[in-house]
Structure 1
């Protein structure tokens, strides 16, 4: 946590107990307590607990970051009960505007101090008990979801076989530090859309800048949940959303020209209704962080290289192979048991005739096929630039230009931006870093007649404000990842995939329950 963040937390905590001081001083008078005690931050809450005869250990819980603010509100509620304020709305005012409500209570001639003895005579109705319990549950769950962990479901096969479709995960917010929501005013437990509608579940009346408490950088090879960087603009229909991202569709329509495709979409809002989403309301993706800030990444023959050294190969990562068998019959049960292949899944297995098949295999399964004699031939299906129609350059992979003739299997090298690092901008790397400089870091940036204009001034140097990461799926040929849309900024990082707590596929996959994610 930075010094600035510590100061912000401390200031909010102090304001919570100091702003109501004027009203508290009047209430202290009514309770027979010297009014000057109301003006001393935190000591005033100790006095309230003492007078209300509530547990003194509550005082110390106030100093827990963020959660302590709610403890302070709880102390305020116990305090106003001593003045016969028991209704839901009186407690709501106590929590939301104590600096306005406490002066009213303190100066109201009809309000008297009844003390803890009077509070004991009050009994909540059954309805009120349920309302209070419900509000507490929502607040507690929201705090846990924001600052500790969040549930997440695997929707696609991009991480197979490491993570399977319908694996239910807990995502740790503590691994990289909890990120404060950019849009705090939202319906609880809804991401960006009210279910069954196309309406937003949040409002941008209040927008907060990026802030992360107890920040810790993403580590290389972590499995990370993050907000989709190109999800800022979305075609808001079921057929598109993150399945067909806006920028991908615009490039397709424009035959590689983003501007033509964008204008076409803007001219047809009925077919392409657009929504703009803040960072924290963009779709959640899950991938493996293969390169961190400052790394240089390259993919050669499907193998990731980091800083010229072979990168980590996830044990369950998959590549497509052309398989020719020795002719023996194929059995679903034995193929699953021996090679972890579902031959009934067309994404994993397809027949080409004459004992030849297209299969998705982990490295372990491929080696087992070779050593067992099951495979007569087994050839990895990789795509080099020489195999690509030249007319497709600029339409296949990031950075979507005709200069970088990269494929999913032969990609880079590309440097991953690091906070505080200065980049020399050239015509060759402009398309790689332009979006990060302009969109993610909020600058005016363009290339004019071979010159680079940054915030109205000509320059060829830029110093990055954030760390960036390179994310790839373990199912390398069926993953929409950084090879198609580039870097993931640190402010898009949600948390680390921690544990599989449930997994379903026509029933419970018992062998996956409570499995840690590696």
Structure 2
């Protein structure tokens, strides 16, 4: 049912993009431009600016998070004014329903290109139609764009960028994603007073982009379904609750990982393999991990590194390397004539890593051998003792806002003696597909349900910063 919902949303969203492109093709032709210019990402925005009479440097503002949405919608409103669409209802149409109105105007014989709307001559010629100064028109357009975009990104869908390799090779650095808020239900803002489109930090100045003087309780609208094991989920980083940031829940950093465990599950890792309720979980086929490689001497050639997607290569001797790659690429690497051996670099069972949750020497766990651990479920009651308290203390104190004190063998919660605790929220276990290059639940524990932002649906664009090229094979690609 969950996969069917994703496919349904994708099959709706992808054709909408095609309709918008068709509309731009026809409108470009009306302005005397070749229609094919609408097909090229970024360049088509440059042409829109040129048709509207706006400066090309506005493209640079589209790289700034938050500001890009305001400017982007303002550019489109400016663009349709060049075709005589001056009314507020028409501004609303291009913002909310561009897949309908851009093709409609493109094929409409009565819609014609009047000239660049940003020029002084345009205002003088069409003064009777505009009835407002260009400054007022632009101001109203920005205000409308802010309101419309805020509603869209808060309640329906929002764009995100992959900044780190923690999900490689399932998701690559430079992938641009659409994340659905409606799959799990949109979370209403808990910190409502904030600068539009800036998450937690102001662009350029670096100050706080929100005021936490007003805080609203957690509330989520009904969604299509619940989080399933295997879903790729965007959520707020729970550790931002701590010093020195002390950020509100909805202003904590956005992370993206794969859900490996849901409320009530018993989860463990054995030799880097995830087990849920004593059953082996499906390993992401494009997930990466560390491998020890021995070859006949010398480094890997560039083509080999690129074709097999080898990363984080470290050389220890003339023959010995550690690198990150997928299981498939490791198997292909092992077949090469100059490679002697390839084996997964799995940490030994029973070797304690103090960086691993719950950071207690009683639990001799590491990134590859961990648990078993029970993921809290709303309404579940756990017995509190010296073994369970290190695992659930943060949940009780930080996420569910209780005052917990321990005096010898005596435990009190909010001033009352307690030997058990009943959880108020559901929790999840999130892990990166790049198992040895991901800071995830193995390091900081559970993700509360009020931290969940949405489900990653598909990659709409992907940019390779190393080659400075678009990865066309990843464009409009579903995320599994």
TM-score, structure 1 as length reference? 0.64
Q: For 1:396 and 1:276, locate their aligned partners in 2 and report how far apart those are by CA, in whole Å.
A: 21
Cα deviation for residue 121 of structure 1 reads: 11
Name the stretch that deviates more: 186-195 or 125-134: 125-134
Tell me how many residue pairs correspond in the alignment. Answer: 350
- In the other structure, the counterpart of 2:250 is 280
Aligned to 2:164, which of 156, 169, 186? 156
Conserved? CA contact 2:384–2:420, under 8 Å = yes
Asked if residue 378 in structure 1 is aligned to residue 348 in structure 2, the reply is: no
Give 1:298 deviation, angstroms.
0.3
SS in 1 for 2:386: coil
Q: Distance in 1 between matches of 2:299 and 2:394?
A: 52
Distance in 2, matches of 1:124 and 1:212, equals 41
Give the deviation of 1:470 after TM superposition: 0.4
Which runs of 5 or more structure 1 residues have no equivalent in the other structure?
1-119, 235-273
The residue number in structure 2 matching 1:223 is 232
Distance change (3 Å), C-alpha of 1:517 and 1:132: same
* SS of corresponding position for 2:436: helix
Superposed CA deviations along residues 477-503 of structure 1, whole A, max 9, x for unmatched, are 111111110000000011111111222
Q: Is residue 487 of structure 1 aligned with residue 446 of structure 2?
A: yes
Shift of the alpha carbon at 1:402? 1.8
Q: Please give the secondary structure, in 1, of the residue aligned with 2:292.
A: strand
**SS at the partner of 1:213?**
coil
The residue aligned with 1:316 is 286
State which structure, 1 or 2, has the greater radius of gyration over its C-alpha atoms.
1
Residue 446 of structure 1: aligned partner:
405
Which consecutive residues of structure 2, in runs of 5 or more, have no partner in the other structure?
1-127
Contact 2:365 2:371 (C-alpha < 8 Å) held by counterparts:
yes
For the 8 Å contact 2:298–2:318, the answer to whether it is kept is: no
1:148-183: CA deviation from partner (whole Å, max 9, x where unpaired): 111111111111111111211111111111001111
Mapped contact 2:381–2:422 kept (Cα < 8 A): yes
1:232 paired residue number: 241
* Residues 1:162 and 1:121: Cα distance change in structure 2 (over 3 Å): closer
Residue-by-residue CA offset, 1:90-148 (whole Å, 9 max, x unaligned): xxxxxxxxxxxxxxxxxxxxxxxxxxxxxx99944443332222211110000011001
User: Residue 187 of structure 1 corresponds to which residue in structure 2?
Assistant: 195
Asked if 1 retains the 8 angstrom alpha-carbon contact of 2:293 and 2:322, the reply is yes
For the residue of structure 2 that corresponds to 1:304, the secondary structure is: strand
Structure 2 SS opposite 1:438: helix
Contact 2:350 2:365 in 1 (8 A): no
Q: Distance in 1 between matches of 2:161 and 2:181?
A: 16
Deviations 1:245-275 (A, max 9, x none): xxxxxxxxxxxxxxxxxxxxxxxxxxxxx33
Q: 1:370 to 1:334 in 2, by over 3 A?
A: closer
1:172 matched residue in structure 2: 180
Give the superposition deviation at 1:446. Answer: 2.5
What secondary structure sits across from 1:276 in the alignment? Answer: coil
Q: Equivalents in 1 of 2:237, 2:338: separation in Å?
A: 41
> 1:365 is matched with which residue: 324, 329, 347?
329
Q: Give the Cα separation in 2 of the matches to 1:143 and 1:461.
A: 42
The alignment's C-alpha RMSD in Å is 2.3
Instruction: Give 3-state SS (helix, strand or coil) of 2:359's partner.
Output: coil
User: Could you tell me how far apart the structure 1 residues matched to 2:314 and 2:403 are?
Assistant: 49
Q: CA separation of 1:463/1:387 partners in 2, compared to 1, >3 Å: closer, same or farther?
A: closer
Q: Which runs of 4+ in 1 moved over 6 A?
A: none
Instruction: Render the CA deviation track for 1:407-428: whole Å, top value 9, x for unaligned.
Output: 0111111000011111122210
TM (normalized to structure 2)? 0.69
**Deviation string, structure 1 residues 371-396 (Cα, Å, up to 9, x no partner):** 556642122111125555xxxx6x22
Change in Cα spacing, 1:432 to 1:354, as seen in structure 2 (3 Å) is same
The offset of 1:329, in angstroms, is 7.6
